[in-house]
Chain A
Amino acid sequence: MNRVTLFSICASSALLLYTLEMVRRRKLREEYSILWLAGSVVILVLSLKQDWLVGIAHAAGIAYPPSFLFLIGILFILLILIHFSIAISKLHQMNKKMAQEIALMKGGIENGSLPRTGQPQERKEIIS
């Protein structure tokens, strides 16, 4: 077992355990942990199963198998970043709607003509 493999085993298990611990403590929501977990599991498995790594790397035309691990790592990071950009865009949209709603409601209260929208909505947990 060469040192780069040993290093990737340690790093990916540490990442896996850390991610799981953060989810367990509710500091990381499950939906944001999936890509991290998947990435660390894939890298861990390929680090342990040397022959799989070598097989796939050769099939992909990569001469030095451990560099395939880096490729996998980079691809997961890109996926996670895109996922974040999408999540931010969604939050941006929600934030805009909320700000507009607040402005309209405040304006309605001041003018004493709050447009009634039927029954007050059931309270929903903000962090569920």
Chain B
Amino acid sequence: MEGTPPRILVALPAYQEERSIGGLVRSLRERFPYDVLVVNDGSKDGTSEASREAGATVLDLPCNLGIGGAVQTAFLYARDRGYDAVVRIDGDGQHEVEDIPKVLEPILAGRADAVIGSRFLGEMEYRVSIPRIFGIRFFRLLVNVTTGYRVTDPTSGFFAINRSLIEFYSHHYPSDYPEVDAYILMHRLKSRAVEVPVRMYERAEGKSSITAYRAVYYMVKVTLSFLINRIRRFG
């Protein structure tokens, strides 16, 4: 990377986000020199058009794959085009774009393979509901006990990864609720993962992907695949 600046891709998975995605892409492009990729996860609204108008590169999935499949598409794109780092943020404006350089810094400095933005490290701006805080505590314990990473925000979808993880995730990435699982994968790869404080907000538009009745499925599925990933072989 001597001489040439690192190539950085900001990846936004988006499903039915036509109202927020355009503004988000524009604010990214105004602030940063990074390429912006929107992976439209089979939206039926104008997500794709809104992203294009705002100047993003858009990949349209022909059907809804779920968040993990969409994010993995961005990793495949980044791998094929030789990006040095991918920053993944939500397409709904929950993540503060101003914090992107903070998330990238340890990777560009070569101090980490993955940097995860935590909403709990800084001044607590994010109000979390009781069931959600229970889930986060549970996953925090699961990750800390089984991997040894000191994690405060295990479900954070605001993170950056370097080339080694781009390559690995383009082959192996969980299809839904991937964030907690990713810790086991990183642990298996002996990746250096660090958290940095970031700001997150309540959703401006649209609905969270986790509704009440899916919470139980979420807990069971993530715990199962987390534990299975510990004993799985990766070829």
Contacts and interface: CB of A to CB of B under 8 A. Distances in A.
Interface of A: 92, 95-96, 99-100, 102-104, 106-107, 111, 115
A63 B20 CA distance: 69
Contacts of B77: 104, 107
A86 to B, nearest CB: 15
Contacts of A104: 59, 73, 76-77, 80
Contacts of B22: none
A111 B57 contact: yes
B80 A100 contact: no
Nearest to B63: A99
Contact of B61 (A103, A111, A115): A103
B75 to A, nearest CB: 10
A95 to B, nearest CB: 8
Contacts of A111: 57
Interface residues on B, range: 10 to 19
Contacts of A92: 175
A99 B59 contact: no
Interface centre among A106, A107, A111, A115 (most CB of B within 10 A): A107
Contacts, number: 39
A103 B72 CA distance: 12
Given A103-B39, A107-B60, A115-B81, 11 more contacts: A92-B175, A95-B63, A96-B175, A99-B63, A99-B69, A100-B61, A100-B65, A100-B73, A104-B77, A106-B60, A111-B57
B62 interface: yes
A102 B69 CA distance: 13
Main secondary structure of the interface of B (DSSP, over half): mixed
Contacts of B65: 96, 99-100
A106 to B, nearest CB: 6
A99 B62 contact: yes
B165 interface: no
B10 interface: no
Nearest to A108: B80
A107 B175 CA distance: 21
B51 to A, nearest CB: 12
B70 to A, nearest CB: 9
B116 interface: no
A85 to B, nearest CB: 14
Which 6 pairs, one residue from A and one from B, show the smallest C-beta to C-beta distance?
A103-B59, A107-B59, A100-B73, A103-B61, A96-B69, A99-B61
Of A95, A96, A100, most buried by chain B (CB within 10 Å of CB) is: A100
A107 B57 contact: yes
Nearest to A105: B59
A103 B76 CA distance: 11
15 contacts: A95-B63, A96-B65, A99-B65, A99-B69, A100-B61, A100-B73, A103-B59, A103-B61, A103-B62, A104-B59, A104-B76, A107-B58, A107-B77, A115-B80, A115-B81
Given A96-B65, A96-B175, A111-B57, A103 B80 contact: no
